[in-house]
Amino acid sequence: METVVLIIGANGQLGSVLTASLQEKYGMDQVIASDLNKPLNFDGVFEVIDATDKNRIEEVVVEYQVTQIYHLAAILSAKGEENPLQTWDINMKTLFNVLEVSRLNSIDRLFFPSSIAVFGEGAPLEQTPNNAYLDPATVYGISKAAGENWAQYYFLKYGLDVRSIRYPGVIGYQSLPGGGTTDYAVDIYHKAVLKEEFSCFLKEDATLPMVFMEDAIRATLELMEAPKEDITIRTSYNIAGISFSPAEVVAEIRKLYPEFKVRYAPDFRQDIASKWPKSIDDQTARDDWGWKPKFDLEMITSTMIQKLKEKYKMGSKNHKALML
């Protein structure tokens, strides 16, 4: 069977990069990108989908004979706290729509991203195990914890091949995150390259698990390619990249930009971060489908700075796009 992939949330931080990787892997015509708006100059097939509209998802799935879905649309941890009930509605409604469309149209494989936000104070904060107690303190985390259980339910009850990763904070130069607690770790590199002062919304010792975009994308594709019988976890897999605090990333950046200025102005996002793991035990992902990260803090920093310098040199139009 020919693989035809639908990405829901293709304009997001991960979605935009994943779309390009999937286009490379399966071919331009085999990948249907979708989001609320079509971006300017999009290269490939794009359909406008509001994932709260189940019929619209189904229409696209049927039209293109979609075989795999990556459902990346969600409201993240920090943004989600502005309107908790709306966040719950959107995150859960879109997931149920995708689960139902997948079940009814015999979708071959479905990817549902979860997050380190599923953990809370009931879990050990160091080397948090895959099967740790889940008591999330944000509505985003609650929606992901519930989503993981629904994913497993659809697997057990209907045999739907749903696979999931609990992403740490994702750091990449290609796109900007929106509304997360780990967003600072992307923004800080932009400020360094622009030679601007950085105001950090977390405390300097707020260590969090992070992963470089290349590693995050590779993890996703490797999980989705793994033989079905190797997948022993149908809620969601822990993956670890590296862990660092704002002070550690600042020290790394200062090796290249000794003048880089930072001030700390922790806000409500510090409370969110303080209940999340500092490091993650990802042994099960390593055992089941061979997960192993490649990028450490030094490699992330040198790559981010080099790529962002190139991007900003490309002119004011791109500069503006990057700063949105």
Burial letters 291-314, b for 16+ CB under 10 A, else e: bebebebeebbebbbeebeebbee
164 near ligand SER, rule: CB under 6 A: no
Residue choice 30, 67, 97, 181 for contact with ligand SER (CB under 6 A): 181
16 near ligand SER, rule: CB under 6 A: no
**Rg of the chain taking only CA atoms, in angstroms:** 19
Residue number of the CB closest to ligand SER reads 180
Residue choice 16, 23, 77, 207 for contact with ligand SER (CB under 6 A): 77
Taking the complex as a whole, the smallest distance from the CB of residue 44 to ligand SER amounts, in Å, to 26
What letter represents residue 197's amino acid? E
Kind plus residue range of the DSSP H or E element containing 119: none
169 near ligand SER, rule: CB under 6 A: yes
Q: Between β-strands 165-167 and 114-115, what pairing exists: parallel, antiparallel or unpaired?
A: parallel
237 near ligand SER, rule: CB under 6 A: no
Taking the complex as a whole, the smallest distance from the CB of residue 187 to ligand SER amounts, in Å, to 12
C-beta closer to ligand SER: residue 23 or 120: 120
What residues between 24 and 53 interact with ligand SER by CB under 6 A? none
Q: Which two tokens stand for residue 252?
A: 């790394």
Catalytic status, residue 237? no
Size of the residue set binding ligand SER (CB under 6 A):
11
Residue choice 182, 207, 243, 303 for contact with ligand SER (CB under 6 A): 182
5: Cβ contacts below 8 Å, ≥ 6 apart: 22, 26, 30, 31, 32, 66, 67, 68, 69, 70
Which residue in the block uniquely carries the two structure tokens 């380190």? 116
Q: HSE on the CB side for 113, CA within 13 Å?
A: 28
Residue choice 76, 160, 171, 213 for contact with ligand SER (CB under 6 A): 76
Q: HSE on the CB side for 224, CA within 13 Å?
A: 22
Q: Helices marked H in 72-138 — which ranges?
A: 77-80, 84-104
Q: How many C-beta atoms surround the C-beta of residue 44 within 10 A? A: 16
Q: How many helices (H) and strands (E) are present in the chain, helices listed first?
A: 12, 14
- Region of 89-97, 98-106, 178-186, 316-324 interacting with ligand SER (CB under 6 A): 178-186
Taking the complex as a whole, the smallest distance from the CB of residue 50 to ligand SER amounts, in Å, to 22
Taking the complex as a whole, the smallest distance from the CB of residue 64 to ligand SER amounts, in Å, to 29
Instruction: Given the residues 70, 133, 140, 264, select the one marked as catalytic.
Output: 140
Residue choice 111, 119, 167, 189 for contact with ligand SER (CB under 6 A): 167
115 near ligand SER, rule: CB under 6 A: yes
Residue choice 18, 117, 151, 223 for contact with ligand SER (CB under 6 A): 117
C-beta closer to ligand SER: residue 167 or 198: 167
Taking the complex as a whole, the smallest distance from the CB of residue 138 to ligand SER amounts, in Å, to 8
C-alpha separations of 126 from 122, 209, 252, 319 in Å: 12, 10, 23, 38
Distance CA 33, CA 6 (A): 6
Instruction: Name the residues annotated as catalytic.
Output: 140
Interface residue list for ligand SER (CB under 6 A): 76-77, 115-117, 140, 167, 169, 180-182
